Amino acid sequence: MSAIIILLISAILVNNFVLVQFLGLCPFMGSSNKVETAIGMSAATTFVLTLASMVSYIIYHYLLIPLNITWLRTIAFIVVIAALVNFTEILMLKTSPLLHKILGIFLPLITTNCAVLGVALLNINAGNNFIESAFYGFGAALGFSLVLILFAALREKLNLADVPAPFQGASIAMITAALMSLAFMGFTGLV
Amino acid sequence: MANMEALLAPFLSPLLALLIISVLFGALLGFAVQKFKVTTNPLVDQINALLPQTQCAQCGYPGCKPYAEAISSGAPINLCPPGGENTINQLAHLLDVKAIPLDPDLVEETAPKVAVIREAECIGCTFCIQACPVDAIVGAAQQMHSVIASECTGCELCEAPCPVDCIDFVTVDAEASKSPPEKSLSEQACIRCGLCVDACPVDLLPQQLYWFAQGKAYDKAREHRLMDCIECGLCHAVCPSHIPLVQYYQAAKLAIKDQDEKLQQALLIKQRFDYREQRLAKERAQIEQRRRARAELAQAKAKQSDLIQAALARAKNKTATEKSPDTQHGN
């Protein structure tokens, strides 16, 4: 139990995928203009990430290893992730067309979100078992969500602030992300 | 042959594995598409609710709803001159895109207008009544027409069909919009000291409200209860940076009220427009029904006359055959 809690904390804070490992930066910068959008994006990514790490564990251990074709893992995982993202997109179009419209290209782009593929590959490198894989994926997704929502809230405030002209838009967002990354470095050594 | 098999062997298991994965997930997706089929699109209604419902078609689409549909499938949001900057901002907020200025090809945003008919010149042709998308013109054939000013959206659709050019458009006196105060010399930047928060007698967060008012984040301002501000001026009095906070709040409050009124009005106009559409559909159905009834009647009549003709022909034949032996006898 404590091992799993440590795994979660490590995935959420210490080795945060966005701010410490710099994975999945595209949706981090792209869909963080509004808190509601960020929450939608977080939910979609959490869903995909958790399921993808579980399904890719099953496929790796029960299909690729028996057939002795582990070198095929990257392609196989991408197929899994793409299918799950597509499924999420269908679900979202049904439940919230507005969110689907706002997220636009960033929704299918979860497929190429390196955090998702990264978790699947890291799970295998670390030799995690099924439960650990699932929690590692879930923790990574929680960390991503936490950072994305915090960042969106900051950007909402920034939109109202008197930012000097050369820093407006993407530049101030980059600086904010960098400062957040610095802050997250403070978690090193927590676990 | 054996050589060929040996060559193919390493490809078999990876192909098999990918095939299994693809078929499995393909089946899952196919099932999902069927199961979660989208029938209606509420997004169109959400967009439509923000449009001014003038139905003026200046955007190039035949009304507000078609334009809302176009926006939901990717049309630009800056094509609505009656809505102007306000509508563009609201759409941008809803869809989380950048607010862009009104399309320069379109007419400049102008003050709200209403149509007025110079009644002495009206010849009672009813063309303008048919053109009005919200049924705001009353009158009858050969009678003088009149515009119901409170229902008119100023869309100018009645101007073109009028054969005697007796329709004018007059601007309505819009309430002088309050713009935020000019920055005076004594006004300094907010230093976030929080004195205004302590001073506020109704426990608001004047400093937050100031940011929202300045950034035109009216939703946020309302969430932080800007409308509860009693405009007592205490926050201004204690502000060490001499920011005229209350003036910002007044401007924001007026803007919010204005926005609300416009949305309310758009809702009313939409109701009238929908009612007109219903009425027209009903009329079309009735005309169609009458036409069909007439056609059936004509058909029945034709059938009857056919019967009569046939009977006549038979009678003729009969007399002819009865007569012919006589003539033979005669010969």
Per residue in A60-94, pLDDT (tens digit) is 998 888 888 888 888 889 888 999 998 988 888 88
Give the distance from CA A75 to its chain's centroid.
19
- Give A151's pLDDT tier (boundaries 50, 70, 90): very high
Separation of alpha carbons B148 and B174, rounded Å: 18
Pick A97's closest partner by Cβ from B42, B214, B215.
Answer: B42
- Residue type present at position B289: Q
Residue to mutate among A98, A154, A162, with most B CBs inside 10 A, is: A98
Q: How many CB pairs under 8 A join A and B?
A: 73
Residue B326 scores a pLDDT above 80: no
Residues of A in contact with B96 (CB under 8 A): 33-34, 37, 102
Among candidates A72, A83, A160 on the partner chain, residue whose Cβ is nearest the Cβ of B29: A83
pTM for the whole structure: 0.73
- Give the pLDDT score at B107: 65
**Coil/strand/helix, residue B146:** strand
Using 50, 70 and 90 to split pLDDT, how confident is the model at B329?
Answer: low
Which pLDDT score is estimated for B290?
95
ipTM: 0.72
CA–CA gap between residue A133 and residue A125 (Å, rounded): 11
- Determine contact: A90 vs chain B, CB below 8 A: yes
Residue B177 has pLDDT above 60, yes or no: no
B27 inside 8 A of chain A by CB:
no
B226 — pLDDT class (breaks 50, 70, 90): very high
Mean pLDDT for A169-173 is 88
**Domain range list for chain A:** 2-185
Q: Which residues of B touch A160 (CB under 8 A)?
A: 211-212, 214-215, 217
Query: Which of A114-128, B143-157, B169-183, B184-198 has the weakest average pLDDT?
Result: B169-183
Query: Cβ separation of A63 and B13 shorter than 8 Å?
Result: no
Whether residue B275 is predicted with pLDDT greater than 50 in this model: the reply is yes
Q: Do B189 and A68 touch (CB under 8 A)?
A: no
Do A96 and A41 form a contact (C-beta atoms < 8 A)? Answer: no
A 10 A CB-CB count for B180 gives 16
Inter-chain touch A97–B43, beta carbons under 8 Å: yes
Q: In the structure encoding, which two tokens stand for residue B75, read together?
A: 């049309």
Query: Are A159 and B215 inside 8 Å of each other by CB?
Result: yes
Least confident range from A28-32, A175-179, B163-167: namely A28-32
Interface test mutation site (partner A, options B16, B19, B29, B37, max chain A beta carbons within 10 A): B29
**Number of neighbours of residue B119 by Cβ within 10 angstroms:** 12
DSSP string, B280-302: HHHHHHHHHHHHHHHHHHHHHHH
Residue B278 identity: Q
Going by pLDDT thresholds of 50, 70 and 90, the confidence category of residue B330 is: very low
User: Which part of chain B is CATH 1.10.15.40?
Assistant: 42-95
Q: How far apart are CA A89 and CA A108, in angstroms?
A: 7
DSSP track, chain A: -HHHHHHHHIIIIIT-TTTTS--SHHHHHHT-SSHHHHHHHHHHHHHHHHHHHHHHHHHIIIIITTTT-GGGHHHHHHHHHHHHHHHHHHHHHHH-HHHHHHHGGGTGGGGG-HHHHHHHHHHHHHT--HHHHHHHHHHHHHHHHHHHHHHHHHHHHHHHS---GGGTTHHHHHHHHHHHHHHHHTTTT--
Q: Tell me, yes or no, if B170 comes closer than 8 A to chain A by beta carbon.
A: no
CA pair distance A88, B213, nearest whole angstrom: 38
Which of residues 39 through 58 in chain A touch B, CB cutoff 8 A?
A: none
Is A59 in Cβ contact with B95 (below 8 Å)? Answer: no
Structure tokens at B10: 């390493």
Please name the residues in contact with A86: beta carbons below 8 A apart, sequence gap of 6 or more: A108, B29
DSSP state of B169: E
Distance from CA of B4 to the nearest CA of A (A): 21
Using DSSP's 3-state secondary structure scheme, residue B35 falls into helix
A86, A157, A160 ranked by CB distance to B214: nearest: A160
pLDDT at B230: 93
- Is the pLDDT at A104 greater than 50? The verdict is yes
pLDDT exceeds 70 at position B310: yes
The answer to whether the Cβ–Cβ distance between B25 and A160 falls below 8 Å is no
Query: Taking CB atoms and an 8 Å limit, are A67 and B214 in contact across chains?
Result: no
- Domain formed by B42-95, architecture: Orthogonal Bundle (1.10)
Burial-class residue A150 by CB neighbours within 10 Å (0-12, 13-18, 19+): middle
Does the pLDDT at position A12 exceed 80?
yes
A80/B25 Cβ within 8 A: yes
* Binary contact (A91, B17; C-beta < 8 A): no
Chain A: residue whose CA lies nearest to B11: A69
pLDDT at site B43:
83
- Residue B298: the pLDDT is 92
State yes or no: pLDDT of B289 exceeds 50: yes
Better-predicted residue by pLDDT, B3 or B246 = B246
Q: Does B21 touch chain A (CB under 8 A)?
A: yes
Answer yes or no: do B28 and A159 touch at CB < 8 A: no
Region label for B143, one of left (φ > 0), alpha (ψ between -120 and 50) or beta (otherwise): beta
- Position B174 scores a pLDDT of 58
Among the partner-chain residues A69, A76, A86, the one whose CB lies closest to the CB of B13 is A69
Q: What residues of chain A lie within 8 A of the CB of B13, using their CB?
A: 67-69
Whether A107 shows a pLDDT value over 90: the answer reads no
Q: Which residues of chain B are within 8 Å of residue A86 when distances are taken between CB atoms? A: 29
- Residue B282 clears pLDDT 50, i.e. is over it: yes
Name the average pLDDT for chain B: 85
Q: Which range is least confidently modeled, B16-20, B62-66, B180-184, B296-300?
A: B180-184
The fraction of chain A above a pLDDT of 70, given in percent, is: 100
